[in-house]
Amino acid sequence: MAITPQQVKELREMTGVGMMDCKKALTETDGDIQKAVDVLRTKGLAKAAKRAGRSTLNGICYAYIHTGGSIGVMVELNCETDFVAKTDDFSALAKDIAMQIAAASPLCVDRESVPADVLERERAVQMEAAKATGKPEKILDKIVDGKMNKFYQDRCLLEQSFIKDGDKTIQDLINDAISKLGENINLRRFIRFQVGEEI
**In sequence order, what DSSP letters do the residues of 114-148 get, joined into one string?**
S-HHHHHHHHHHHHHHHHHTT--GGGHHHHHHHHH
Fold of 58-109+156-194: Tetrahydropterin Synthase; Chain A (3.30.479)
The number of CA neighbours under 13 Å toward the Cβ of 31 is 7
Instruction: List, in order, residues 6 or more apart from 152 with CB less than 8 Å away.
Output: 111, 114, 159
pTM score, two decimals? 0.70
- Sequence spans of domains, the chain: 5-51, 58-109+156-194, 115-154
| Rounded CA separation 65/185 (Å) | 23
Query: Could you read off the pLDDT of 149-163 as tens digits, one per residue?
Result: 999 999 999 999 999
Low-confidence ranges of the chain (pLDDT < 70): 1, 14-18, 44-55, 199
Residues β-bridged to residue 63? 74
- CATH 1.10.760.10, domain 5-51, yes or no: no
pLDDT for position 141? 86
| Rounded CA separation 172/162 (Å) | 9
Which architecture does CATH list for 115-154? Orthogonal Bundle (1.10)
